[in-house]
Structure 1
Amino acid sequence: MERVAFLEDSSGLRVDCLLNPETVQVTRLAGVRPRGVADARLTGAGLADDPLVFTGGGRTELVLDLLFDTDLVEGPTRPQDVRALTRPLWMLAENSATEHGWLRPPLVRLVWGKTWNVPGVIVAIAERFDAFGLTGSPRRSWLRLKLVRVAEAADEAREGFADELAAASTPTAAPGSAVVATGDGSATPGHSGVRFDLLAHDALGSPLRWRLLAEHNRITDPLAVPAGTTLAVPPLAAPPTADATPGGGQP
């Protein structure tokens, strides 16, 4: 089962997230700015809007909300402080690479399942802690980071987006067949380790259709589906809408 991960291009370092994002916000800023001179904008009394300069290019930003919790870590090496899990992401926002003699954050690639593969740099990161222990160490973290896509040709961006949509809308199971729930080894009390959103991707072509899969199989708690459960694949209904991951909540 594929979790969202960040791959550092130069070293091959992989930073896995404990859970997939609660939300992803994508913003596109076109290469447009007001026309002006050195110290002022140009405008006119008869104009409804300021004149614009079309500079080309632009900026694509992705904001991800991530949850980390030491209680969800399996094995004897469970950290006592959640910052041990989130520190690698903070380091990806440091100026640890060099380009043309200038320091810069390393180039990373956001990879999530079959439909997200975005090259960029992490330009901002913020973290809110809770569930503090007696020593003051936080065990849970709500982390938000902003990734800015690196420059690429417009044709490449368009083709890449078309490939992502094709992968997201192509189920691997036919309606009327079945998929088997497989655990990812992260079973905890109240969570079986089955990634229901990825089951929905395999059965219905998109992780956003997890509610449809759950309702068709009369499942009230997708987080508690035991590994090995066989689920019937329903016929596709309306296209999926942006929704939270099963069991997810806003930080």
Structure 2
Amino acid sequence: MERVAFLVDESGTRVDCLLNPETVRVTRLAGVRPRHAADGRLTGAGLADDPLVFTGGGRTELVLDLLFDVDFVEAQVRPDDVRTLTAPLWLLAENSATEHGWLRPPLVRLVWGKTWNVPGVIVAVAERFDAFTLTGSPRRSWLRLKLVRVAENAEAAQEGFADELATASTPTVPPGSAVVATADGAAEPGWSGVRFDLLAHDALGSPLRWRLLAEHNRISDPLSVPAGTALAVPPAVAPAPTGGQPS
């Protein structure tokens, strides 16, 4: 498990968490919607797809599974109820801030290591409790949280992406050797179960460099690479790519 933190911009408050498992699901929704007429959705006879309106902007969502346990608290006096630890995250999903006269959730930043610093608002929290005491107090919490990134212009978003690529770590596999693809958990239909982004992290120091690894091995579909395949590691890292992770 990895430690992550949420920083509240207005107050500077820090909420520490354990990321469990060590994965983050990121979804990007482009600014596209079906075209509507006055009496409902507009469709066209003979068209293969509905007409669309390109509105610009979009929505980037991050879903994290977090773990809280009173036994993990590094303090002399530990709380008896894990809800003492998770309450600050619930409060961050409340409309407690004001912007232009409207109530809104407070702005927070997801901070994880040196490469994740995502500004956003928490729009959903769900929590499951276990390890109850005799008095009914839960000592452990499995919490799922959804963070929506706040609006940034395209230039700022591109700069942030370039910064993430620039802070790549040292590869664990030496250049010119090979890395073996292994399946990670149960595979979904159409997916071999191989995490190509993790292969890129081992081979090139960053999961965002998956495209370089794929091009070097002449792989057109990274999601279909069979487990056990040996992939050659490029002898040197080329200039940072501009694409995201495979989807």
TM-score of the superposition, structure 1-length normalised?
A: 0.67
Contact 2:165 2:206 in 1 (8 A): no
Q: Distance in 2 between matches of 1:21 and 1:162?
A: 27
Q: Which amino acid aligns with 1:48?
A: A
Which has the larger displacement, 153-162 or 133-142? 153-162
Q: Deviations over 1:150-208 (max 9, x none)?
A: 000112112211211221x2329997xxxxxxxxxxxxxxxxxxxxxxxxx9xx8469x
* Residue 81 of structure 1: how far off its partner (Å): 0.6
Tell me the equivalent position of 2:191: none
Task: Determine the C-alpha separation between the residues in 1 that align with 2:73 and 2:206.
Answer: 27
In 1, the alpha carbon distance for the partners of 2:86 and 2:103 equals 23
Gaps of 5+ in 2: 175-200, 208-231, 235-244
Aligned to 1:124: 124
Is 1:52 matched with 2:52? yes
The residue type equivalent to 1:106 in the other structure is: P
* Cα distance between partner residues in 2 of 1:11 and 1:125: 21
Ranked by relative contact order (alpha carbons within 8 Å, sequence separation 6 or more), the top structure is 1
Q: Is the 8 A contact 1:124 1:145 kept in 2?
A: yes
The 5-angstrom pairing of residues 145-224 of structure 1 reads: 145-167=145-167, 169-171=168-170, 205=205
Match of 2:19 in 1: 20
The AA in structure 1 aligned to 2:37 is V
1:101-120 correspondence runs (5 A):
101-120=101-120
Q: Deviations over 1:194-246 (max 9, x none)?
A: xxxxxxx9xx8469xxxxxxxxxxxxxxxxxxxxxxxxxxxx969xxx9xxxx
> TM-score, with normalisation over the residues of structure 2?
0.68
Q: CA deviation at 1:21?
A: 4.0
The CA deviation string for residues 103-123 of structure 1, in whole angstroms up to 9 with x for no partner, is 110000111101100000000
2:36 is paired with a residue whose SS is coil
Whole-angstrom CA distance in 2 between matches of 1:84 and 1:41: 47
Contact 1:4 1:21 in 2 (8 A): no
Shift of 1:71: 1.4
What CA distance in whole angstroms lies between the structure 1 residues aligned with 2:156 and 2:85? 34
Distance in 2 (CA, whole Å) between partners of 1:125 and 1:237 is: 40
What residue is the counterpart of 2:91 in the other structure? 91
* Preserved CA contact (<8 Å) 1:31 1:54: yes
The aligned counterpart of 1:192 is none
1:165 match: secondary structure: helix
Query: Could you tell me how far apart the structure 1 residues matched to 2:72 and 2:149 are?
Result: 30
Partner secondary structure for residue 148 of structure 2: strand
The one-letter code of the counterpart of 1:103 is L
| % identity of equivalent residues | 80
1:29-62 superposed Cα distances (whole Å, 9 cap, x missing partner): 0000001113311112110110000000000000
Higher strand content, 1 or 2:
2
**SS of match in other structure, 1:4:** strand
Number of residue equivalences: 183
2: CA distance between counterparts of 1:11 and 1:153? 25
**CA RMSD, 1 decimal:** 2.7
Q: Distance in 2 between matches of 1:64 and 1:38?
A: 39
Q: Which runs of 5+ in 1 are unaligned?
A: 176-200, 208-235, 243-251
